[in-house]
Amino acid sequence: MKKYLIILILAINILESKSQSVGTLKKDMYGIASDATEGRFTAFPGYLKAAKYVASQLKASGIKPGWKERNKLTYLQPVPFSWDNYSGTTLIINGKPYLHSPKNYIVIQRGITGPGKWVVTTSGDSVNDKSAGVLLLPNKEQANNWETTVIRQYRFGYMHYRPDGIKAANSLPSIMVSPLLAKMLATGDSITVKLKYRSEDKTGYNVIGKALGTNLKMAHRAILVGAHLDHIGRIGNHIYNGANDDASGCVTELSAAKMLAAHPAKRTVIFAFFCGEELNLKGSHWFADHLPVPQKDIVMTINLEQLGSKHRSFKGVWALGDPQFKTAFMNAGKNFTTLNLQFSATDSVKEVLRNTDTYSFINKQIPSLLLGSGGFDEHHTPQDKISLIDFPHLRRATHLLYTFLQSDL
């Protein structure tokens, strides 16, 4: 028994010596989720800043570029989007102009506007066909949660995934005014609106790196590790940092990548940091359709999601996915006595997986595993900040991931 304990302590000490420090984890967290990256909304400057930071860390650690673009190796895989730009749109109330902005109003439906006034109405009311457009007053729920309404429409509704196509503008345009402007209006009022619209091409980027395997017979077979780098962005004075959702997954992945750069696994490991998860998983969807290696050579995918909140609902690491990986997952965590482990098979958690990047690979029949630590109350709020992160827990999660990647499966 004493000999076993000595071996166990030595194994833990070796792994600790290879691991990233809490200080390094914090540095990477600030590089990804500080105010400087402005919430990392896909295809916006803050996201690109975070993507370049991750790419620079992969390069510095020795992880090779994982994507080939125009016959050149790169860390950045372009993903095509477009953005509805309404800059220059003006709403005039009592002779005073109000420019388009989330604090004033948002466009709910793009359409064809004709000459004449816009009519003020509430949802469900009939509209005169001769109206130039519709001004919607927010209902009570929308008014009480205006920023949530803005997120759903301005943040998610204005950005489009190019392969999905853009819906034709074949109906009356409609604009929803903020609770502040709604106080100046009443149903039936006629308002002048100068609507300006243009579609702008935007490029999101998946960040991809590759750590080559050491076993010549196994190196062509790859494990894919992924986490989403994007979040909601900035709305007015509020920055949605997304420290737990999902900078925590990205930091854990980046930490494991640095460990593997120094101590490679038998198999090749591909590290992907996805854009567009908050836009209906479009970054991982594009990646799954444009894999850097043949699909037949992918052993499995591991998706990391919301691993580090101090307020997490599960204090350890919870795996959701294909049952064939349960034993390897449990073995990867068994040396860490302070870590709780739980495993749920795919069939029992399909609705949970449907809302994660894991689903992009399940749809391709690629064996998959999601690692997370449950929900947290600050999800999709400006309170999801770096101060919320339990860095010692992230370090333990990195240990588990690294050990799993080194296993024979």
Model confidence band, residue 15 (pLDDT cutoffs 50, 70, 90): very low
pLDDT at 11: 44
Model confidence band, residue 123 (pLDDT cutoffs 50, 70, 90): confident
| Measured distance CA(276)–CA(159) in Å, rounded | 10
Judged by DSSP in three states, 309 sits in strand
- Which tens digit of pLDDT belongs to each residue from 136-182? 999 999 999 999 999 999 999 999 999 998 777 778 899 999 999 99
Kindly tell me if the per-residue pLDDT of 46 is higher than 80: yes
Considering the segment(s) 20-82+201-406 as one domain, its CATH architecture is 3-Layer(aba) Sandwich (3.40)
| Measured distance CA(325)–CA(300) in Å, rounded | 9
- Which tens digit of pLDDT belongs to each residue from 213-260? 999 888 789 999 999 999 999 998 899 999 999 999 999 999 999 999
pTM: 0.92
Contacts with 155 (C-beta within 8 Å, 6 or more apart), sequence order: 41, 232, 233, 235, 278
- Which tens digit of pLDDT belongs to each residue from 345-374? 999 999 999 999 999 999 999 999 999 999
* Residue ranges covered by each domain of the chain: 20-82+201-406, 87-196
pLDDT at 336: 65
pLDDT at 111: 84
pLDDT at 17: 44
Model confidence band, residue 306 (pLDDT cutoffs 50, 70, 90): very high
Kindly tell me if the per-residue pLDDT of 339 is higher than 70: no
If 0-12 CB within 10 Å is exposed, 13-18 middle and 19+ buried, where does residue 64 land? middle
Model confidence band, residue 19 (pLDDT cutoffs 50, 70, 90): low
pLDDT at 122: 87
Kindly tell me if the per-residue pLDDT of 4 is higher than 90: no
Q: How many CA atoms lie within 13 A of 169 on its CB side?
A: 16
Model confidence band, residue 409 (pLDDT cutoffs 50, 70, 90): confident
Model confidence band, residue 124 (pLDDT cutoffs 50, 70, 90): low
pLDDT at 337: 59
If 0-12 CB within 10 Å is exposed, 13-18 middle and 19+ buried, where does residue 73 land? exposed
Q: Which residue has the higher pLDDT, 253 or 12?
A: 253
Contact call for residues 173 and 134 (beta carbons, < 8 A): yes
Model confidence band, residue 332 (pLDDT cutoffs 50, 70, 90): very high
Mean pLDDT of the 305-320 span: 96
Q: Please state, for a pLDDT cut of 90, what percent of the chain lies above it.
A: 83
Mean pLDDT of the 85-98 span: 94
